[in-house]
Chain A
Amino acid sequence: MSGKPRLTYLNGRGRMEPIRWLLAAAGVEFEEVYLETKEQYEKLIKDGFLLFQQVPLVEIDGMKMVQTRAIMSYIAGKYNLYGKDLKERALIDMYVEGISDLMQMILMFPFSPPDAKEKNLESIKERATNRYFPVFEKVLKQHGQDFLVGNKFSWADVQLMEAILAVEEKVPGVLSGFPQLQVFKTKMSNMPTIKKFLQPGSPRKPPPDAHYVETVLKVFKK
């Protein structure tokens, strides 16, 4: 037992990607097991690994953790990325939940029918530029600090960075109206652990392609 957290998911972003980002940002090395077949998935369920029969699964500190939010909260708490008190935690939670709503749209995008893709892309662009990015632009402008909460690097910064890059992949130039976010993106990119994660060969997964979608449908098909 190496003691490193072990992640079980498909070989792709999905709901595990924010967890990879957070562990990487915290400088924590981890192992990964990739689900490729329905049989592997069914075996995991049969062997009692998946509390609610779902992945992500992260084996960490003797626990078989499921539920993305629970996993992220635990990692953030353990590695001091969750603010210094209850009120900072409340801000981080609010920001992370908002970003998560935006990321949900991106998560579902590869699975939308071809005739809905253009409309969904437009929705992602609209939400990012009208609902979510303006909030964080304003937060950064108002306090003038490098990080979103408490003048300290936190889970919220990691999540925002991930979201910015994910939206940019779909909507290049989306940050053009957000100077604070541009500066934020640069600063985050230069933080050693994040810089490492952004380099080729890191555990970061590429954007979902047809093969990924196919694998998801195959593994989880009833």
Chain B
Amino acid sequence: MSTKPKLYYFDGRGKMESIRWLLAAAGVEFEEEFLETRDQYEKLLQGGSLLFQQVPMVEIDGMKMVQTRAILSYIAAKYNLYGKDLKERALIDMYVGGTDDLMGFILVFPFLSAEDKEKQRALIIQKATSRYFPVYEKILKDHGQDFLVGNNFSWADVHLLEAILMVEEKKSDVLSGFPQLQAFKARISSIPAIKKFLEPGSQRKPVPDDKYVETVRRVLRMYYDVKAN
């Protein structure tokens, strides 16, 4: 039975977007079920599909996987995007940890008040340009290879590209001091599976809007104020 992985989440980026990116990069087709109502969510809960009562949830290989990092690690390993040995995996995990922290600042952004959004935007750009981008710029410069780890396309490359594009949405010229990252971005974007994902009509989700925020709040009954980091 060759069933495609099935993703359960809101119709928007959130924590599921990195999973969509990785599946797409691996050339794996997937289905999606979008949570729109509280009832749908409660039905999933009652059915015992959500181990810790949370989404993302991905049905894959007979498992109902939850926890974004667990899902991503599984996909990376299954599709050979996790390095060739323990040490390469360690590097990939470290690099992904960094881009994950960076994207974490962006994840909360749509839920902030207008005033906090301004501050957060500045924080995102400051973190990107002073803490995260310089690290990846140096890695690429030091080894002069096309990919971050082991001269081979990996999860770390997919995650970094995703992070770059997300930060660029907040400041379009944010890569201006990072020539290696500019070249990296062009290179990785032109990989066929990624190129396809970047085209209109793919399962990539747009920048979160008010409707997305409203849906999340309604489905999760998350009506409290979200504080900036």
Question: Measuring CB to CB, which residues of chain A are less than 8 angstroms from any residue of chain B?
Answer: 51-53, 61, 63, 65-70, 73-74, 77-78, 86-87, 89-90, 93-94, 96-98, 101, 131-132, 135
Tell me, yes or no, whether B228 is within 8 Å of chain A by CB. Answer: no
Taking a contact as CB atoms under 8 Å apart, the answer to whether B101 and A52 are in contact is yes
B77, B86, B89, B135: the one contacting A86 at CB < 8 Å is B77
Q: How far is the CB of A125 from chain B (nearest CB, A)?
A: 16
Chain B residues lying within 8 Å of A66, measured Cβ to Cβ, are 94, 97
Q: How far is the CB of A9 from chain B (nearest CB, A)?
A: 16
Alpha-carbon distance between A94 and B74 when the two chains are bound, in angstroms: 10
User: Given A69-B97, A78-B86, A89 and B73 touching (CB < 8 A)?
Assistant: yes
Alpha-carbon distance between A73 and B94 when the two chains are bound, in angstroms: 10
Additional A-B contacts beyond A51-B135, A52-B101, A132-B52 (9; CB < 8 A): A52-B132, A52-B135, A67-B94, A70-B90, A93-B70, A93-B73, A97-B67, A98-B51, A98-B66
Chain A residues lying within 8 Å of B69, measured Cβ to Cβ, are 69, 93, 97
Closest partner residue, chain A, to B61 (CB atom) = A87
Alpha-carbon distance between A61 and B88 when the two chains are bound, in angstroms: 13
Tell me, yes or no, whether B221 is within 8 Å of chain A by CB. Answer: no
Taking a contact as CB atoms under 8 Å apart, the answer to whether B89 and A77 are in contact is yes
> Which residues of chain B (77-116) have a CB below 8 Å from chain A?
77-78, 86-87, 89-90, 93-94, 96-98, 101
Chain A residues lying within 8 Å of B65, measured Cβ to Cβ, are 90, 94
Alpha-carbon distance between A90 and B60 when the two chains are bound, in angstroms: 11
Chain A residues lying within 8 Å of B66, measured Cβ to Cβ, are 94, 98
Q: How far is the CB of A15 from chain B (nearest CB, A)?
A: 12
Taking a contact as CB atoms under 8 Å apart, the answer to whether A135 and B51 are in contact is yes
Q: How far is the CB of A159 from chain B (nearest CB, A)?
A: 13
Chain B residues lying within 8 Å of A78, measured Cβ to Cβ, are 86
A68, A77, A89, A98: the one contacting B86 at CB < 8 Å is A77
Chain A residues lying within 8 Å of B61, measured Cβ to Cβ, are 87
User: Given A73-B93, A97-B69, A52 and B74 touching (CB < 8 A)?
Assistant: no
Alpha-carbon distance between A89 and B53 when the two chains are bound, in angstroms: 21
Chain B residues lying within 8 Å of A51, measured Cβ to Cβ, are 94, 98, 135
User: Given A53-B131, A63-B90, A65-B90, A90 and B63 touching (CB < 8 A)?
Assistant: yes
